Chains A and B, each alone.
Chain A
Amino acid sequence: MARKLKLRIWRGDADNGGLQDVVVDANEGEVVLDVIHRVQATQMGDLAVRWNCKAGKCGSCSMEINGKPRLACMTQVAAYGDDETITVTPLRAFPVIKDLVTDVSFNYKKAMEIPAYEHPTELKPGEARMAQIDVERSQEFRKCIECFLCQDTCHVIRDHEENKKSFAGPRFFIRIAELDMHPLDRLRNRKRTAQEEHGLGMCNITKCCTEVCPEHIRITDNAIIPMKERVVDNKYDPIRWLGSKIRKREGME
């Protein structure tokens, strides 16, 4: 049942590169990562590609397939027409290392800039009590597999290298939202620093990030928009702002 698949692969490095055409067997049920691996094993032993779980759980195999940011292990070959050429290219928002592998260190640097979780010191291990419904809001964001597809697609950095310094990107907006909604986190002012230090204000809610998220995290609706609304609220409402100094949950910082 194997069929001949036309695959166009970007090969090269930071200095130069281009698309190369190959024809490769594709079997029933295979995903794009399978055929890339077959090319690697039979035609291009040194073709560079990242992967780990092959089940959409680790976020390693991010690339652009026919121009769309996708996980190669969750993209069925059968989703494309029999005569269609499938084009695979590296994530565009990050510098190429080689072939389909890009330098995603930008994301790890941003991760280090988000202030860590602060546990209430008086709560000893095992004493925490939280309702399921209260942890679920943050759990949605903790599903993130760090594929960085949302980062790749966000136009604020995709087309503007210069914005990278001041813009953390959707992956880290949900990290901030997650901590902000964490029932126990003690650190205040997370929304305000999101706005002032991590570039939340540069997001103009195009929702492209939400569309590409393989975990279907509602990045814009559940994280970005609520944070933006409350930042605005708080900036102009001195009384509520005062409230935040007293109780984190109800008063917005």
Chain B
Amino acid sequence: MANLERYKYDVVVIGAGGAGLRAAVEAREAGLKVAIICKSLFGKAHTVMAEGGAAASMGNVNSGDNWMVHFRDTMRGGKFLNHYRMAELHAKESPDRIWELETWGALFDRTKEGKISQRNFGGHEFPRLAHVGDRTGLELIRTMQQKIVALQQKDGRDYGDMESHIKVFAELTITEIIKENGKVAGVYGYWRENGEEVLFEAPAVIIATGGVGKTFKITSNSWEGTGDGHALALKAGANLVDMEFLQFHPTGMVWPPSVRGILVTESVRGEGGILTNNLGERFMFKYIPDVFKDKYADNEAEADRWYIDQDNNRRPPELLPRDEVARAINSEVKAGRGSEHGGVFLDVSKRISAEIIKKRLPSMWHQFYELAGVDITKEAMEVGPTCHYVMGGVEVEPDTAAAVGVPGLFAAGEVAGGMHGSNRLGGNSLSDLLVFGRRAGMGASEYVKKSGANPVSESSIKAAAERIEAPFSRSGGENSYSLHAELQEVTHNLVGIIRTGEELKNAIEKIAGIRKRSANVSVSGGRKFNPGFHLAFDLDNMLLVAESTAKSAIKREESRGGHTRDDFPGMNSKWRQVNHISSFDGNKVNVREQALPAIPKELFDLFDVHELEKYMTTEEIAKGGSK
């Protein structure tokens, strides 16, 4: 390919969400030449939509908070399936990452003493989420976007060209990670604008591509959430860990149909919103699981008192971890106690004044008023579960974010697995992006400094180019829009919030069928900004992700966090010791079991043994953690 557009960089970051941008800053500050690539315009990644806040135990609102409390909450939320080391690093480093944003110009909401304010969220023992109204993600992404501009301005002064050392390639989709001699050598993709192809040669690639929500019918994710990074990593020889765990956020909009799935931030409950069914019953009291009985109020009076006095009352059950609330809503609706459009009611108008609602939840107010004609300062919202976040992801070394098994490949953010175990706590993603985005940037920089360039061969380029051309060379084949809709139907009905072995078996067959047909997708129109063509590639990724999820889910014969089996309703301590590892053999996804790393003694000792007994086997308890 004589006239192929090509670039050389030290580090290529795929993704311009929180994780990708934080990684890019770190790699540039380590002196390297960095490319940032994203499918949308710069500043539009998913992170921009995050509302509630970023969790960090700064202790600004309740000084009892510290990393150990945050660590415990995170492990509990994940039902102890988290990689302990990731949860530890995350809890320890989050406060520094938030404060650092402030030195880059971020303006968080303040406490009376002028410190960064922190709000309550499900599963967090203390008020812990740094926030800006309900547009925290926007603040994060804009701050880092502007930090990148600051670095570019410095390069402009030092080298005479602002884009000499860090450059953003927006609206460019990566379709391939290229390896030579068993190591990462670069990435290949196309400009969305004109379909023209681009090669980036780089010894280190950081995947920061976010989530997979678009695999499902009802989701809070945008068109970008197609699991590209998950699939790219699989194809490059990396592993995915625990892909059965998907978070269904309990509160998505349910009406009107066009907005079904759009997120209603958990801050609504954090600020005092209550959930009721069509009988007006505050039903969450019925759904407090045994493991949480000592932390959540079992009557309204106590739950209400908690808003005033948090030290002497247990918290309201609306603030249970998301998996619990989503299942409860699901059960209420199934039992015929749902709202007119198949949700339940979420009401914040009874507890706080219109003025405060508009101040603390401005974009929620706006969203309901404009899109549903509902004034949340006066009426209840109708809400129901929506596919929101994938806990599973690329298996990485916690300290460096290096993808296991592929030298030169790194992954951070939602695309990485392990950190959140079987269920993520709200607010723990934004902090995760910062902590592990930075670590991926450091890991990649150290790797690049040790290893030399690894040129891409002509045969690799040819193979990547042929794949992009393929859908154009077919005609009269399958339509990618309808295949996508079919896949969403399958995942929604058979791999959704409640699963059974029979349905999962059925799903695996159906997904394989769609995958076969997808090999025959043809595209109408040319290469110029052609969404049909774009979807053909995204579809391929979603199919691999769905296969990995269904195959992991059928193996896990228990219910835990974001994986609920109707045929295996309980949590089983034996399964807590198991990670499911997906790999790709060029043809299909294979899933095997792998032992979860044992928690070391010093972290084990942070818990009350009686609590651990609810999760761990007697042998594990007897050992008391590894040394």
Contact A112 B153 (CB under 8 A): yes
Q: Provide the B127-162 mask, 1 if CB < 8 A to any CB of A, else 0.
A: 000001101001100100011011011000000001
User: Could you say which residues of chain B place their CB within 8 Å of the CB of A13?
Assistant: 528
When chains A and B are docked, how far (Å) is the Cα of A55 from the Cα of B224?
15
Interface stretch of the complex, out of B94-102, B294-302, B439-447, B506-514:
B94-102
Contact A104 B41 (CB under 8 A): yes
Contact A119 B103 (CB under 8 A): yes
Contact B107 A135 (CB under 8 A): yes
Contact A56 B366 (CB under 8 A): yes
Interface size, chain A (Cβ < 8 Å): 59
| A-contacting residues, B549-591, CB 8 Å | none
Contact A50 B41 (CB under 8 A): yes
User: Could you say which residues of chain A place their CB within 8 Å of the CB of B108?
Assistant: 135
When chains A and B are docked, how far (Å) is the Cα of A59 from the Cα of B43?
9
Given contacts A99-B529, A112-B162, A55 and B109 within 8 Å (CB-CB): no
Contact A29 B531 (CB under 8 A): no
Q: Tell whether B476 is near chain A: CB-to-CB under 8 Å.
A: no
Contact A30 B256 (CB under 8 A): yes
Contact B139 A52 (CB under 8 A): no
Contact A74 B370 (CB under 8 A): yes
Contact A131 B114 (CB under 8 A): yes
Given contacts A46-B526, A50-B41, A126-B99, A57 and B48 within 8 Å (CB-CB): yes
| B-contacting residues, A107-137, CB 8 Å | 108, 111-112, 114-117, 119, 123, 125-126, 128-132, 135
Contact B41 A60 (CB under 8 A): yes
Q: Provide the A27-39 mask, 1 if CB < 8 A to any CB of B, else 0.
A: 1111100100000
User: Could you say which residues of chain B place their CB within 8 Å of the CB of A54?
Assistant: 222, 259, 262
Partner of B40, one of A52, A99, A115, A145: A52
Given contacts A52-B223, A55-B367, A57-B363, A119 and B107 within 8 Å (CB-CB): no
When chains A and B are docked, how far (Å) is the Cα of A181 from the Cα of B390?
39
Given contacts A125-B102, A126-B99, A130-B110, A97 and B223 within 8 Å (CB-CB): no
Contact A45 B153 (CB under 8 A): no
Q: Tell whether B598 is near chain A: CB-to-CB under 8 Å.
A: no
Contact B104 A119 (CB under 8 A): yes
B77 to chain A, nearest CB (A): 25
Highest count of chain B CB atoms <10 Å: which of A47, A57, A111: A57
Given contacts A53-B48, A125-B96, A45 and B523 within 8 Å (CB-CB): yes
When chains A and B are docked, how far (Å) is the Cα of A29 from the Cα of B222?
19
Contact B110 A97 (CB under 8 A): no
User: Could you say which residues of chain A place their CB within 8 Å of the CB of B104?
Assistant: 117, 119
Contact B371 A74 (CB under 8 A): yes
When chains A and B are docked, how far (Å) is the Cα of A31 from the Cα of B256?
10
| A-contacting residues, B56-113, CB 8 Å | 58, 95-96, 99-100, 102-105, 107-110, 113
Contact A139 B262 (CB under 8 A): no
Contact B44 A123 (CB under 8 A): no
User: Could you say which residues of chain A place their CB within 8 Å of the CB of B224?
Assistant: 52
User: Could you say which residues of chain B place their CB within 8 Å of the CB of A128?
Assistant: 102, 114
| A-contacting residues, B443-478, CB 8 Å | none
When chains A and B are docked, how far (Å) is the Cα of A106 from the Cα of B48?
21
Chain B residue nearest to A46 (CB atoms) is B525
Contact A51 B146 (CB under 8 A): no
Contact B149 A30 (CB under 8 A): no
Contact A97 B193 (CB under 8 A): yes
Partner of A142, one of B132, B370, B529, B533: B132
B535 to chain A, nearest CB (A): 9
B170 to chain A, nearest CB (A): 8
Partner of B528, one of A55, A98, A126: A98
A112 to chain B, nearest CB (A): 5
User: Could you say which residues of chain B place their CB within 8 Å of the CB of A211?
Assistant: none
User: Could you say which residues of chain B place their CB within 8 Å of the CB of A59?
Assistant: 44
Given contacts A45-B525, A112-B149, A119 and B258 within 8 Å (CB-CB): no
Main SS of chain A's interface residues? loop
Partner of B114, one of A116, A125, A130: A130
User: Could you say which residues of chain B place their CB within 8 Å of the CB of A135?
Assistant: 107-110
When chains A and B are docked, how far (Å) is the Cα of A117 from the Cα of B529?
35
User: Could you say which residues of chain A place their CB within 8 Å of the CB of B278?
Assistant: none
Contact B115 A119 (CB under 8 A): no
When chains A and B are docked, how far (Å) is the Cα of A101 from the Cα of B132?
31
When chains A and B are docked, how far (Å) is the Cα of A97 from the Cα of B533?
16
User: Could you say which residues of chain B place their CB within 8 Å of the CB of A220?
Assistant: none
Q: Tell whether B607 is near chain A: CB-to-CB under 8 Å.
A: no
| A-contacting residues, B493-533, CB 8 Å | 523-526, 528-533
Q: Tell whether A204 is near chain B: CB-to-CB under 8 Å.
A: no
Q: Tell whether B481 is near chain A: CB-to-CB under 8 Å.
A: yes
| B-contacting residues, A132-172, CB 8 Å | 132, 135, 138-139, 142-146
Contact A34 B110 (CB under 8 A): no
Q: Tell whether B596 is near chain A: CB-to-CB under 8 Å.
A: no
Given contacts A52-B222, A55-B262, A116 and B531 within 8 Å (CB-CB): no
Contact A29 B40 (CB under 8 A): no
Given contacts A46-B532, A116-B150, A58 and B49 within 8 Å (CB-CB): yes
When chains A and B are docked, how far (Å) is the Cα of A97 from the Cα of B370?
30
Given contacts A46-B524, A97-B193, A51 and B371 within 8 Å (CB-CB): no
When chains A and B are docked, how far (Å) is the Cα of A203 from the Cα of B58?
44
Given contacts A54-B222, A74-B371, A139 and B529 within 8 Å (CB-CB): no
User: Could you say which residues of chain A place their CB within 8 Å of the CB of B150?
Assistant: 116-117
Q: Tell whether B604 is near chain A: CB-to-CB under 8 Å.
A: no
B146 to chain A, nearest CB (A): 6
11 contacts between A and B (CB under 8 A): A29-B258, A48-B529, A48-B531, A52-B223, A55-B371, A56-B366, A74-B370, A108-B42, A126-B96, A126-B102, A142-B138
In order of increasing CB-CB distance, the 9 nearest A-B pairs are A29-B256, A46-B525, A117-B105, A129-B114, A116-B150, A125-B99, A45-B532, A48-B529, A126-B99
Measuring CB to CB, which residues of chain A are less than 8 angstroms from any residue of chain B?
13, 27-31, 34, 40-41, 45-60, 74, 76, 97-99, 101, 104, 108, 111-112, 114-117, 119, 123, 125-126, 128-132, 135, 138-139, 142-146, 179, 182, 185
6 further interface pairs, Cβ-Cβ under 8 Å (given A27-B258, A30-B257) = A29-B256, A31-B371, A45-B531, A60-B44, A119-B105, A146-B43
